[in-house]
């Protein structure tokens, strides 16, 4: 019994360190935001997710996009771009991903 409890505690600890499960953008998401980002594709959003998870997640646990209003994400991305060492193009991809997924129903 003690071994089972210790094993469950270990799994719970690993799960806590695993980070936030970020939503995966689809073609429907890309279509939904075409008024704001006319040329955005699902691949662009996927690249933005990857950059957000990798660069931003290297220093802190990424925030779930829906936790921040979509109109606030651009300011956060601008502020963090130098720290994450994102190029302007990369920052734009991260912003598009976060804004898109924040506004997802």
**Per-residue CA distances from 16 to 20, 53, 58, 84 (Å):** 9, 16, 16, 23
Give pTM, 2 decimals.
Answer: 0.80
Q: What angle do CA 80, 84, 88 make, to 5 degrees?
A: 75
Q: Model confidence over 7-25: pLDDT tens digits?
A: 434 433 433 445 678 999 9
Task: Report pLDDT for 103.
Answer: 86
Domain ranges of the chain: 21-102
Mean per-residue pLDDT, 17-41: 89
For the chain, percent of residues with pLDDT exceeding 70: 80
* Local confidence band at 55 (pLDDT 50, 70, 90 cut-offs): very high
Average pLDDT for the chain:
86
| Structure confidence at residue 16 (pLDDT) | 43
């Amino acid at each position: 019994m003690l071994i089972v409890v210790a094993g469950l505690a270990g799994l719970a600890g690993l799960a806590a360190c695993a980070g936030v499960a970020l939503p995966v953008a689809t073609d429907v998401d890309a279509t939904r935001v075409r008024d704001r980002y006319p040329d955005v594709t699902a691949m662009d959003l996927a690249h933005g997710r990857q950059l957000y998870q990798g660069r931003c997640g290297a220093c802190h646990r990424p925030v779930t996009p829906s936790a921040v209003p979509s109109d606030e994400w651009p300011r956060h991305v601008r502020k963090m771009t130098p720290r994450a060492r994102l190029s302007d193009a990369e920052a734009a991809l991260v912003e598009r991903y976060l804004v898109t997924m924040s506004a997802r129903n």
